[in-house]
Structure 1
Amino acid sequence: MSEVSWTRERIGAVLKVRYGKALPKDQRDDSAPFPVLGSAGRMTGTAEPLAFDPVVIIGRKGNVGQVQLETAGCWPIDTTYYAAIPERLDERFLTWQLRSLPLGKLDSSTATPSLRREDLEAQEILVPPLEEQRRIVAILEDHLSHLDAADSQLDAAAMRISALSAHVLAHALADATCDEVPLTSLLGRDLANGRSVKTCEGGFPVLRLSALTDGMVDLRERKPGAWTADEAERFLVHQGDFLISRGNGSLHLVGRGGLVAEDPDPVAFPDTLIRARPRADLVDAGFLALVWNSTSVRRQIEQVARTTAGIYKVNQRDLGRVVVPVPSLPDQRRILAEVAAGREALGRLTQATGAARERSGALRRSLLAAAFSGRLTGSSSDMSVVEGRVEA
């Protein structure tokens, strides 16, 4: 493919970027034909679209830079930008090229991720002749279909691993006599929300929501906050604390918890987390972390979660009523040991599928880069070129 006739243009010169618009609740209807789209995707439906023509939708707040294509009418809400697709651009070519840009790195906020319109419009895209655009899309989507098939297999493997992991815990619990105890009855102190603080270089450290990882708290996931050590005093975390997510855009992530397993240096927890401090004479903190993310507890949390503007949330009252299976302390420790042994092998499988998924993502990014620099020819050597870029 020749790049001689390609032009490099600013997004603002090619597209008329518009702000999405809030939609009143009385105009929202899940069964209505036109999708209402937020930065993370479809939220509900509506009878009358805001945009009739084929449009690209770009995440403005929340899922910054996420790109969607809608061809048959939709209502982009105020967490998005949208733009009609001009005739000289193939709609899928534009969508794929926008997805290839690092729009997520343009986040300009210190709180909710946010993309400024001027930053978006300043980005450049390449515009070849229309027929060449369509040729590129056909080649690109053929290659991506193979990666999609591989990713589906990885998803299926991950689901099987998750099911096996849940079975290991259920089997261990079945051998113990358990009381069903609400969370509040297991705590030495009341549940407590953290505090929201802006980023400030040199300030007292505060954890990020991303510190919650696989039932644990990664103490390295932090930022410097605009407050003093005295102001942060009552929000300090201690070894054995259990931190719970207050909100998330995904239902399966809201209310997830993580254990502070190590003795931390002074660091506080933010308003996006709720702290639970279990009584050591009633429940082993590691056992609480284990059963909190189990199927039976997750079912309770997801039933009480409420959604606002696409974000699922839980509060202290909701969480305090969640019932947890609690055997004797000796049985708790036995269960912890059994589950740890059973999940060790599963952990190796998880690492292997994770590595495969990372490689798939790298190949996908390399494919997009090759597509929008004229290096995809449609020949069998394309993937060799792409893999070479990943290895480099």
Structure 2
Amino acid sequence: MQQKSELPEGWAECQIKDIVVINYGKGLKKSDRVEGQFDVFGSNGIVGKHNQSLTNGPTVIIGRKGSVGEINLSSEPCWPIDTTYYIDNFYGINRIFLYYLLKTLNLANYDTSTAIPGINRNDIYSQLVPLPPLSEQHRIVSAIEALFARLDATNEKLDRVPGILKKFRQSVLAAACDGRLTEDWRKANPDIESAKELVKSIIHEKETKSEKRKVSLNSDLEESVVQNIPESWFESSLDKISIKITDGTHHSPPNGAEGDFKYITAKNIKNDGIDLKNVTYVSSEVHDEIYSRCNPEYGDLLLIKDGATTGIVTLNNLTEPFSMLSSVALLKFPEEISNKYIMYYMRSPDFQSNVLDKMGGAAITRLTLKKISNMIIALPPLPEQQEIVHRVDALFAFADSIEAKVVAAREKTERLRQSILAKAFSGKLVETEAGIARREGREYEMAEVLLERIKEERGKGGKK
């Protein structure tokens, strides 16, 4: 806070103890509450309702334990519980002014506890604060709330952006996976070999390398899942265009914080790759047994097939070998297939809806390898797959840049909020009462007089 000599004309410097009484909240267990009209406040805000109030009018609540220094304001009588302090007698001071003033003190810095965070009431009482004349307090509050309302309106708009961007990304994927996104590209490249020929060549190569029965191009193909796909595209089940579809070990092996190889489960699979937070490890012997069947390599697709996050699909971003649990499926494709295109397709709204159908509804969160193998992909020729990936990447990067701007805008609004408060309590937000009185040729009540009146009223017993 400012030194007394630096205070605006007509202001006074005082301690919190000079202007208000800070009371202890009173315990009120959840089991003892009776649903009613009065808000029950904990240290971080409203925690319930009760049919009685502890305070008799508007109240400022200060977090005492837990969320130390959090400041809340109730315009009505309420019940602050025993993790809080409260103020409900303002001795003529504008209560909203006091609320904003307390928010500038950073009371959390005065946490005196080593276990549960807490603040001593005397640390609050001892805080030096600037006090303007009462009429100036009212104008300061009006100015703060007008400016904060503009910031709140901005934040409301920013709050809508993530939802808009989510719909935008879903729309991009939908357009990418039914041909609309690259319609102009196909017109400019009419002589590209169709995807049907691509699938034929993949099947032929698989058959020449395998002793298994031959598979017809159209056998076991489920009914079309994409209406009116481009003529050069072809719908194929995943098993026809893949090299391998498998999953990790079905027996949870010994694993821990130390070991020779990472052990990846569904909790590690995220949209942006493998998250190594809380990863565990297995021994070389365990890894060799798992890896002989399920050998994820850089760039392979990993699909969560079991659990609450079933359907999340990502590209393997780890270059070193690792072991997996059966909750994650491994999908390998030949060079003629863009793994990233398949990933985008599997993230599209229609495919994700198909995943839900395959699970049998929202209550069943499991996919079998057979169901995954039979899932249908609308496949473009390889050059168009690559073009789709290029365009989706560019559009998603655009969306990411907007998200970054939203984050920056939020940070800016918070900085502006703090700047407004700083100006308010240094006398720079509104014209001072002294300046107005001088211009109008009249007297005014200085803050020193207000302090004397508060002292006198408290001496009489603090009549509200």
Q: Does TM-score exceed 0.5, indicating one fold?
A: yes
Q: Does residue 1:15 correspond to 2:57, yes or no? A: no
Q: Where does residue 376 of structure 1 map in the other structure? A: 429
Change in 2 beyond 3 A, CA 1:378/1:10: closer
Pairing of 1:231-246 with structure 2 (within 5 A): none
Q: Distance in 1 between matches of 2:124 and 2:96?
A: 19
Change in 2 beyond 3 A, CA 1:8/1:372: same
Q: Distance in 2 between matches of 1:95 and 1:32?
A: 26
Corresponding residue to 2:155 among 125, 140, 151: 151
Corresponding residue to 1:129 among 129, 133, 148: 133
Q: Distance in 2 between matches of 1:165 and 1:291?
A: 25
Larger Rg: 2
Q: Distance in 1 between matches of 2:271 and 2:114?
A: 24
Q: Distance in 2 between matches of 1:165 and 1:62?
A: 39
Q: Where does residue 27 of structure 1 map in the other structure? A: 32
Instruction: Tell whether the 8 Å contact from 1:243 to 1:259 is kept in structure 2 after alignment.
Output: no
Corresponding residue to 1:348 among 401, 405, 412: 401
Change in 2 beyond 3 A, CA 1:8/1:296: farther
Change in 2 beyond 3 A, CA 1:238/1:64: farther
Pairing of 1:175-214 with structure 2 (within 5 A): 188=252
User: What amino acid is the match of 2:419?
Assistant: S
Q: Distance in 1 between matches of 2:310 and 2:26?
A: 38
Q: Where does residue 96 of structure 2 map in the other structure? A: 92
Change in 2 beyond 3 A, CA 1:189/1:32: farther
Q: Does residue 1:360 correspond to 2:365, yes or no? A: no
Change in 2 beyond 3 A, CA 1:5/1:27: same
Q: Does residue 1:40 correspond to 2:44, yes or no? A: yes
Change in 2 beyond 3 A, CA 1:378/1:295: farther
For the residue of structure 2 that corresponds to 1:141, the secondary structure is: helix
Q: Does residue 1:77 correspond to 2:81, yes or no? A: yes
Superposition deviation, residue 349 in structure 1: 1.3
Change in 2 beyond 3 A, CA 1:66/1:162: farther
Change in 2 beyond 3 A, CA 1:88/1:191: farther
Give per-residue Cα distances to partners, 1:268-287, cap 9 Å, x unaligned: x7xxxxx7789984999996
Runs (5+) with no aligned partner, structure 1: 178-184, 193-232, 245-255, 270-274, 298-323, 380-392
Change in 2 beyond 3 A, CA 1:139/1:109: same
Larger relative contact order (C-alpha < 8 A, sep ≥ 6)?
Answer: 2
User: What amino acid is the match of 1:13?
Assistant: D
Q: Distance in 1 between matches of 2:124 and 2:305?
A: 43
Instruction: Tell whether the 8 Å contact from 1:59 to 1:67 is kept in structure 2 after alignment.
Output: yes
Change in 2 beyond 3 A, CA 1:242/1:60: farther
Pairing of 1:272-291 with structure 2 (within 5 A): 281=294
Change in 2 beyond 3 A, CA 1:189/1:7: farther
User: What amino acid is the match of 1:16?
Assistant: V
Give per-residue Cα distances to partners, 1:154-205, cap 9 Å, x unaligned: 1111332345557789999x9998xxxxxxx98946999xxxxxxxxxxxxx
Q: Where does residue 222 of structure 2 map in the other structure? A: none
How much is the aligned-residue C-alpha RMSD, in angstroms?
A: 4.8
Instruction: Tell whether the 8 Å contact from 2:80 to 2:86 is kept in structure 1 after alignment.
Output: yes
For the residue of structure 2 that corresponds to 1:126, the secondary structure is: strand
Identity fraction in percent: 30
Superposition deviation, residue 295 in structure 1: 11
Instruction: Tell whether the 8 Å contact from 1:50 to 1:76 is kept in structure 2 after alignment.
Output: yes
Change in 2 beyond 3 A, CA 1:355/1:33: same
Q: Where does residue 214 of structure 1 map in the other structure? A: none
Q: Does residue 1:3 correspond to 2:56, yes or no? A: no
Instruction: Tell whether the 8 Å contact from 2:264 to 2:280 is kept in structure 1 after alignment.
Output: no
For the residue of structure 2 that corresponds to 1:87, the secondary structure is: coil
Q: Where does residue 118 of structure 1 map in the other structure? A: 122
Q: Distance in 1 between matches of 2:411 and 2:115?
A: 28
User: What amino acid is the match of 2:410?
Assistant: R
Query: TM-score normalized by structure 2?
Result: 0.49
Q: Which moved more, 1:359-368 or 1:336-345?
A: 336-345
Number of aligned residue pairs: 283
Pairing of 1:305-320 with structure 2 (within 5 A): none
